[in-house]
Amino acid sequence: MGRYVVRRSLQAVFVILAVLVVTFILLRAIGDPARLLVSPEGSRENLAQIRHALGLDVPLHVQFVRFMADAVKGDFGNSFTFGRPALGLVLERMPATLLLTLVALGLAVPVGMLLGTISAVRRNSVYDNLATTLAVLGRAVPNFWLSIMLIVVFGAYLKWLPPSGFGTWKHLVMPAVALSAGLAAMVARLTRSSLLEVMGHDFVRTAKAKGLTESRVLYRHVMRNALIPIATVVGLQAGHLLGGAIITETIFAWPGVGRLLTQSIYNYDYPVVQTSVFVISVTFVFLNLAIDLLYALIDPRIRYE
Amino acid sequence: MRRMPFILTLLASLLLFNSLVHAQNTGPTTVTIALTDDPPSGDPHKTRGANGGHLLFNLFDGLVELSGDMMSVTPALATSWEQIDDLTWSFTLREGVKFHNGEPFTAESVRYSIERVLDPNAVRFNTDFRQIGEVDVVDDYHVLIHLKTPDPVFIAKIAGLHMVPPVYTASVSEEEFGAHPVGTGPYKLVEWVLGQRLVLEANDDYWNGRPSVDRLIFRPIPEASTRLAELQAGTVDIITGLNYDAIPLVDADPSLRVEANSGRRTVMMHMDLLNGAKPLQDVRVRQAMSYAVDRQLLIDAVLNGYGTPLATIFRPDMAGYSADFQPYPYDPERAKELLAEAGYPNGFTIRFMTSDGIVNKGVEVAEALAAMLGDVGIKVEVLPVALQVMRDMYIGNPDPAGGNVEPLFMFNYGAAIPDATSPLKALIQTGGIEAFYEDPVMNELINEYGSETNVEKRNQVAHEIQEKLYNDLPVIALYLQLDTYGVNERIDWKARKDEYILGKDIALR
């Protein structure tokens, strides 16, 4: 187990380094931030002055060496747009993103599993059809559309919830629902098929034959075995939630890293994009590591040696 | 059971008390405004763009100020001024004004602020002040400003040159000043959480009287439909960037209204005439394109009527504007004739780059234009991209000879003062930061317009420039874009031409 963790952590560091390099190169390929910053009423001298101040007038490899040398020391440079340290800007936004994704995850998994279990247990009943329809809808409806519909109905029309912003639990409801819908639907469908598959196994028949109650069979024997594929998918999708948060945060004016990242990409704000991508990839990589280690807890057959 | 009535009475009295408290609530008046994004910085010398302006023009003052319609210059931190000669201006300063931190405003503040703007070693986004040479402090309340070159619109320009407190500014880093700006303006900054809110509070000691709204809250909300929902929910009082498509929704709600300003931005079809597509190099083709466009139809059909047709990039409020030049009439027959004369009887094919960010509904406007040009035989392929792609392609083009850009593109220019010098220098004069045109006579005329202080002579030059712009069409001016806002009826407020939302313009009904 220990050796496995060390090996995976080293891999993680390598992945993160690779992400930094790729982000650096891709960003420089998209365009010149100085041209976005200069006033349209400005002059060419003004443009050169800005380019110099941002350190963009030196060759790319020099910029890269400077960037890596500073990054190792924890200095990710100052935001081109806000003039403040990029790392501070990103870390300041991190709690809001974590709150949103964790709540969305905490919403999606139980709701999805409940729907999936109802479907599997009452297979081909009205409940099954209803749950399956919901799951298909949840998967098919685009995140931004659902978000806007929620805002229009519950924010503007019914006025039950604040349309956007951050601060109270009320602000959290709609973005969390919007972000969790897709994952909940996926978990529901997976739970259903996974449960049905396990239910067909011999040991389930044996358990029933022993005289165990329906619910005991379901929770002790079926659920436990059906959990493994669900955990895998949830683990993979948790990272994607961070990606979905980019859209959700922008629509709900949620002050998270995703929105900062979108804004910074639009502004060609290299330092902030680099730092956001760095922080998000660190989170992603370690989340995956944690999920892998969780397997061992769910399934005693899995051992890391 | 016998205690129930007592509890009920208690509850009822609590509720009653609560509602009484609410009825008597005379707490601070707050107006909440939704912006499209965070202002980048609170430093008036390092910020540009509309979102920055909302903050700066509430926190800071200049020596003078420009009225909401940009038509008059009124005293602000200077009570009077006088032009001594072409290159020297004398200002008498307002006495007893204090910055938000208590620092007194004096001639020294003026000198410090101007020198800070002109600092060659710092990044400054405002380039309107390059003509300023030295500032002489005569005494505490008198300064002389010396110009390097004559500037006929100097006094209007310095409305945007904000005064900062020398002691505080020098004692903190520029980064720190940007986060905690201190000015003399009608509002002071109390809280700024990036991505969430910006809270301003009325300045009790404002020299022009305390503004009537106690608190302004600016909320950055990037998504237009979310801003609209906030307005409809009553949680926000004014929204910027109201989509034209959403106007009927706002109109239908009795508690809301639409406000529009008189338009700061001129919208045009811009072209690379240095090295772009060959057909565009022929003036007859450009004239044909101008005749082929039905400007009024475009405004009515795509912009819900929120626009004014333009003949050239001169806005009607700009110095030297001449009504002799009226927008090209819609005349597709004339357009076809001109195309045939130019050797394109069957038209030609061209790409047209546009963006929803560069002008309101930029893609739909371009598609409508493409259809109109298509009617006279010019096959236009609309190329929609992000605003950043366009800015990156067209602003400060590294190749002054042109040719490495899409030859036909949508553009807008929002001059901050009612004067054409800045758009002419940027868009038309060879070497301008977004110019793709070469005409030595025009270049010379622009220099004259930019420095001639005799009004009559200047108007003559302006007339000549407009004549050339109208006939040679270095850009094809389309219309003046009006900015639209959604406003709650409890708010008394009129939109300013400069696009900024200022607390001192707002009152509660």
H helix count then E strand count, chain A: 13, 0
- Distance between CA atoms of residues B184 and B162, nearest Å: 9
Helix or strand (DSSP H, E) at B19: helix B4-23
Q: Do A53 and B123 lie within an 8 Å CB cutoff?
A: yes
How is residue B297 written in tokens? Answer: 């139809």
Q: Do A38 and B195 lie within an 8 Å CB cutoff?
A: no
Q: Is the pLDDT of residue B3 over 70?
A: no
- On whether the CB atoms of residues B265 and B482 are closer than 8 A, the answer is no
Using the Cβ of B272 and the Cβ atoms of chain A, whether some distance falls under 8 Å is answered with no
- On whether the CB atoms of residues B359 and B368 are closer than 8 A, the answer is no
Q: Which stretches of chain A drop beneath a pLDDT of 50?
A: none
Predicted pLDDT at A95: 92
Q: A155 vs chain B: nearest CA distance in angstroms? A: 6
Q: Is the pLDDT of residue B284 over 90?
A: yes
Enter the pTM of the model: 0.89
Predicted pLDDT at B8: 45
Q: Is the pLDDT of residue B445 over 90?
A: yes
- CB-nearest to A253 from B41, B175, B219 is B219
Q: Is the pLDDT of residue B357 over 60?
A: yes
pLDDT tens, position by position, A150-199: 999 999 999 999 999 999 999 999 999 999 998 999 999 999 998 988 88
Q: Is the pLDDT of residue B233 over 90?
A: yes
Predicted pLDDT at B326: 97
Predicted pLDDT at A251: 95
Predicted pLDDT at B23: 41
Mean pLDDT, chain B, whole residue set: 91
Predicted pLDDT at B126: 66
- Distance between CA atoms of residues B471 and B467, nearest Å: 6
- CB-nearest to B229 from A53, A81, A156 is A156
Using the Cβ of B413 and the Cβ atoms of chain A, whether some distance falls under 8 Å is answered with yes
Q: How far from the centroid of its chain's Cα atoms is residue B230's Cα?
A: 24
Give one word for B261, left, alpha or beta, with left for phi > 0 and alpha for psi -120 to 50. beta
Q: Do A268 and B388 lie within an 8 Å CB cutoff?
A: yes
Predicted pLDDT at B26: 60
Which whole number is the average pLDDT over B149-173?
94
Which whole number is the average pLDDT over B123-150?
89
Q: Which residue of A has its CA nearest to B36?
A: A253
- Dihedral of CA atoms B280, B284, B285, B286 in degrees, nearest 10, equals 70
CB pairs below 8 Å between A and B: how many?
Answer: 144
Predicted pLDDT at A231: 82
Predicted pLDDT at B10: 42
Q: Do B433 and A43 lie within an 8 Å CB cutoff?
A: yes
Which whole number is the average pLDDT over B429-445?
94
Other beta carbons within 10 angstroms of residue B14's beta carbon come to 10
Predicted pLDDT at A82: 87
Q: Do A43 and B392 lie within an 8 Å CB cutoff?
A: no
Q: Do B232 and A93 lie within an 8 Å CB cutoff?
A: no
Q: Do B433 and A34 lie within an 8 Å CB cutoff?
A: no
Give me Rg for the CA atoms of chain B.
Answer: 26
Percent of chain B scored above 90 by pLDDT?
82
For residue B400, name the pLDDT band (cuts at 50, 70, 90). low
Using the Cβ of B118 and the Cβ atoms of chain A, whether some distance falls under 8 Å is answered with no
Which whole number is the average pLDDT over B175-179?
92
Find, among A252, A248, A121, A104, the residue nearest to A185 by Cα: A104
The sign of the CA dihedral B165, B170, B175, B179 is: negative
Q: How far is CA A7 from CA A10, A13, A238, B88, in A?
A: 5, 10, 22, 73
* Residue numbers in B near A159 (CB within 8 A): 233-234
Q: Which residue of A has its CA nearest to B127?
A: A42
Predicted pLDDT at B46: 85
